[in-house]
Structure 1
Amino acid sequence: MEYRKRVAAVYLLGFFIDLANLFVGNVAFPDIARTFHRDVAELAWVGTAYILGLTAVIPLGNWLAARWGGKRVFVASLLLFMAGSAGAAQAGSLGALIAWRALQGLGGGLLIPLGQTMTYRLYRPAERPGLTALILLVGQLAPALSPTLGGLALDALGWRWIFWLNLPLAAMPLVLALRWLRDEREPEPSAGLDWLGLLLGSLTLLLVLQGLGDLAQPSTWARGGALLAAGLALGAAYARHSRRHPRPILRLELLRDPLLRMSMLMYLLVPGAFMGVSLVAMLYLQQVLGVPASIAGLLMLPWSLGSFAAIALTGRGYRRLGPRPLLMAGALAQGIGFLSLLAIDRSGQLPWLAGSYALMGLGGTLCSSASQSTAFLRVEPARMGEASALWNINRQVSFCVGMALACVLLNLLLAGQGIADPAAPAARELSVRAFHLCFLAAALAMLPPLWLGSRIGNAEVLRLLNRPRMGEA
């Protein structure tokens, strides 16, 4: 096998593991809640801690690879991920589980950007579309298979086995990386690591998300407001710092490009909303309606079918139509998918649920694929790595914010109905109403991205897509 194909195989396995762990946890949340007797807002940190770990480590990828080599960093990341998985499987409290999930995220966070860098540089530009198609295929298989397999493991063995099964899954790319990857280093950066920027950025994200979680609780709303304000203040401080530093950890000036800025905002609003609704829907189906975890996990299969259709539509229509109709159609389809969840009030409505998830997959992927195709059209090749880091962090933040806001809203609605336990039979009717209001709010939240999609410079994108480029036939 060619060396570049070996590198691609190792990268795609790491990519699958990373994405699978973003989605599989939602299926286990109801069981974890029963084990530790905790509420929805605290439970969200099981997923949020993983995404925080992923996000915090992404900017370090190039610097670490320059210091220790891509192979060593990739192997160390897998070992750290496996340690976090083993710790999460044995966690005796929710706090311990959250801490181990953060360690898992720190280990998994470099698998995508580092593997992507090592793989793409081995392929010529004309060969990269085929590689991208393969990556997109893996990107759809992970959310389709992981909740289904996780649900089966959960029903048969319990939620801890979701984390134990990560060990053999991660062992495969670990062995292949040790055998196949060459010990090569990236060019040493001219400036040192922006430690202050890394600290400010990480604290900003942590305080904002903790503040959102605390706002959901009447007893902690004042603390939540203070943390949120402190996080926003630190974010402003980072923005000032990045303008002065010669090599900031994130180069925010790239956001002056309206195509990159609007694409990132669209990604923040649409896929992030699905992550929040997915979490709330799993709680609703399992706790209130009594749907088994294995059946609930199967709903990601119709989601993936809708997503595959969206990828095909984008591939065929993007260059001819531009992003505007795809983005608007995607926001509309996802909003209708959210709205259709209002018809779900009993456990036997699986065909309707499958249709809802297929619409969400179609709409969300139309927006994410069209956004990603648009984001880098005007980014200079020399700045592509920095823009890619900014894009990947925005992607992780969208998932964090989506889950945090959905849990905040759900907790407020449950508290407003006086519901302490959504699974209690006596509270069923009020619980259904609270969850339905949450789905309605998510559907209405698709109006801003619908408007945003209508504002993107479609004619300019079509001009950039169809102009001849240097060095191309």
Structure 2
Amino acid sequence: MTYRARVASVYLLGFFVDLVNMFIASVAYPEIGRQFDAPVSPLAWISNSYILGLTLVIPLSSWLAKRIGARRLLMFSLLVFIIATCGVSASFSVPQLIAWRGVQGMGGGLLIPIGQTMTYALYRSHERAKLSSAVMLVALLAPALSPAIGGLFVDSLSWRWVFLASLPFAVVALILARCWLKPDAPAEKGARLDLSGLASASVALTLILIGLTVLGESHHAQLGAVLLLIGIVVMGGYVRSAMKKSSPLLNLRLIKEPLFRTSMLIYQFVPGIFTGVSLIAMFYLQNQLGMSAAKVGAMMLPWALASFVAITLTGKIFNVLGPRPLFITGCLIHSVGVGLLALTGHTAHTLVAVLAFILMGFGSSLCSSTAQSAAFIRMANEDLADASALWNINRQLSFCLGVTLISLLFNVIADTGLPVDQAYHLSFVLAACSAVIPLLCCLRIANKTLIFTLNQEQK
């Protein structure tokens, strides 16, 4: 096995560990709630705390890697994750669970940007499409398997084993990192931490994430809007300050790179929107169409198969066609899939719902895998750490924003007095129409120039 293949394996294993922890927790909520006699609202923060800890630590990843070295930081993050995982499984109250999940998120939050930076630096631009396909396959495998495996643990053992499921993988990743990764000297021992930027960015991200979470709850929508607005204002102040600094916490100037910026926007408007649509679709299919929970859960199987096809296809044709036609095709197919949900009205339309999930899986994954492949093509190796941090923050925000926007959209429509089934249908139609925004962004991509550059590098 080549060295870069070893680095990629450690990164993908760490990525898998992080995603499993993000998607497996929800299946344990009912059992945790019964054991601790806890309502739904605090239980939601078991996952939110993980996402918050993960998001807040990402801006520090680049500075820490320069100070102590990427290999040491990766191993340290795995060690923190392992300790926090044991703390989560041993918790005896919901507040303890939430606290340990936050620490666990901080450990997991460093795994992805550091591992991604180390791996992408070893692959040339024309080779990154196939690497991105491997990344997206892991991103598909984890959410597809986690709920089913977690359910078996809850039914057969205990909810505590749900959180321990990722522990063996984390231990293996730590051992492989110790044995496979080359020691690296800190790149910039004298680099100073942008403390004011860290403080303002942390406050802004915290307020935005909490605001988005609360905004999606109709009974706390006003509080959520206030928190979100304050967070945006604080973030605006951070951006203005960072653009004036020579060594900011995050190099926001990288967002000026057109392909990187477009890929980030695509992630917000396609995979992000799908996250929100899939959430209300679960309620719609069960509550309005009368489908069983098992049947609704099975909808993700054709989605996963279609996603696998899209991700595999991207890796094979990205260098030939370039990102623009793949983005446009993905956006259109995803939009049709979302719109098809509005044509269902009773259980006889199960096949229509299955087709909708197939189209959403193919379209969304075609966009996300193309975005992952395109985002870092024009990034210099010295900018990969900052670009990776920005990319992963954007990824986390896209999931939160998608859920909030679609949930809020449905709540607003439902409050107008429309019948519930019509409120769902109108929400699906409007969500499908949101594809216009990423489509317009795609038209500005210099596709021919990019294909020429990739082909020249391949020669």
* TM-score, L = length of structure 1: 0.82
Equivalent residue number for residue 427 of structure 1: none
Q: 1:89 corresponds to which letter in structure 2? A: S
Specify whether residues 208 and 5 from structure 1 end up closer, same or farther in structure 2 by C-alpha distance, changes over 3 A only: closer
Corresponding position: 1:364 with 2:350: no
Q: 1:208 corresponds to which letter in structure 2? A: I
Q: 1:138 corresponds to which letter in structure 2? A: V
Shift of 1:394: 0.7
Distance of 1:73 and 1:365 partners within structure 2: 31
C-alpha RMSD over aligned residues = 3.6
Distance of 1:2 and 1:260 partners within structure 2: 29
Equivalent residue number for residue 424 of structure 1: none
1:273 touches 1:442 (CA, 8 Å); kept in 2? no
Distance of 2:280 and 2:31 partners within structure 1: 14
Shift of 1:110: 1.4
Distance of 2:425 and 2:292 partners within structure 1: 18
Q: 2:385 corresponds to which letter in structure 1? A: G
Corresponding position: 1:454 with 2:440: yes
Range 223-232 or range 357-366, more displaced: 223-232
Equivalent residue number for residue 444 of structure 1: 430
Shift of 1:466: 1.5
Specify whether residues 230 and 451 from structure 1 end up closer, same or farther in structure 2 by C-alpha distance, changes over 3 A only: closer
Equivalent residue number for residue 39 of structure 2: 38
1:147 touches 1:298 (CA, 8 Å); kept in 2? no
Shift of 1:27: 4.0
Shift of 1:267: 0.8
Equivalent residue number for residue 309 of structure 2: 309
Q: 1:388 corresponds to which letter in structure 2? A: S
Q: 1:274 corresponds to which letter in structure 2? A: F
1:267 touches 1:367 (CA, 8 Å); kept in 2? yes
- Segments of 5+ residues of structure 2 without an aligned counterpart are none
Corresponding position: 1:265 with 2:265: yes
Distance of 1:436 and 1:196 partners within structure 2: 49
CA shift digits 1:37-74 (9 cap, x unpaired) = 534x6554333322222222222223223333333322
1:51 touches 1:399 (CA, 8 Å); kept in 2? no
Specify whether residues 162 and 342 from structure 1 end up closer, same or farther in structure 2 by C-alpha distance, changes over 3 A only: farther
Equivalent residue number for residue 135 of structure 2: 135
Specify whether residues 445 and 133 from structure 1 end up closer, same or farther in structure 2 by C-alpha distance, changes over 3 A only: closer
CA shift digits 1:109-131 (9 cap, x unpaired) = 11122122333444566765554
Shift of 1:165: 1.6
Equivalent residue number for residue 403 of structure 1: 403
Distance of 2:272 and 2:220 partners within structure 1: 25
Equivalent residue number for residue 84 of structure 1: 84
Range 104-113 or range 91-100, more displaced: 91-100
Q: 1:176 corresponds to which letter in structure 2? A: L
Specify whether residues 332 and 91 from structure 1 end up closer, same or farther in structure 2 by C-alpha distance, changes over 3 A only: farther
1:66 touches 1:188 (CA, 8 Å); kept in 2? yes
Corresponding position: 1:212 with 2:198: no
Distance of 1:38 and 1:451 partners within structure 2: 38
Equivalent residue number for residue 25 of structure 2: 25
Specify whether residues 55 and 154 from structure 1 end up closer, same or farther in structure 2 by C-alpha distance, changes over 3 A only: same
Equivalent residue number for residue 106 of structure 1: 106
Equivalent residue number for residue 203 of structure 2: 203
Aligned ranges for residues 117-266 of structure 1 at < 5 Å? Answer: 117-123=117-123, 128=128, 130-157=130-157, 159-188=159-188, 191-216=191-216, 220-266=220-266
- Segments of 5+ residues of structure 1 without an aligned counterpart are 418-429
Shift of 1:13: 1.2
Give the percent of matched residue pairs that are identical in Structure 1 and Structure 2: 44
1:48 touches 1:403 (CA, 8 Å); kept in 2? no
Q: Secondary structure at the match of 2:270?
A: helix
Q: Secondary structure at the match of 2:39?
A: coil
Shift of 1:108: 0.7
Distance of 2:281 and 2:158 partners within structure 1: 20
1:151 touches 1:296 (CA, 8 Å); kept in 2? no
2:88 touches 2:163 (CA, 8 Å); kept in 1? yes
1:201 touches 1:238 (CA, 8 Å); kept in 2? yes
Distance of 1:24 and 1:349 partners within structure 2: 30
* Number of equivalenced pairs: 457
Q: 1:444 corresponds to which letter in structure 2? A: L
Distance of 1:439 and 1:201 partners within structure 2: 38
Distance of 2:33 and 2:340 partners within structure 1: 27
Q: 2:175 corresponds to which letter in structure 1? A: V
Q: 1:437 corresponds to which letter in structure 2? A: A
Distance of 2:346 and 2:94 partners within structure 1: 30
Q: 2:15 corresponds to which letter in structure 1? A: F
Shift of 1:10: 2.1
Specify whether residues 113 and 3 from structure 1 end up closer, same or farther in structure 2 by C-alpha distance, changes over 3 A only: same
Q: 1:364 corresponds to which letter in structure 2? A: S
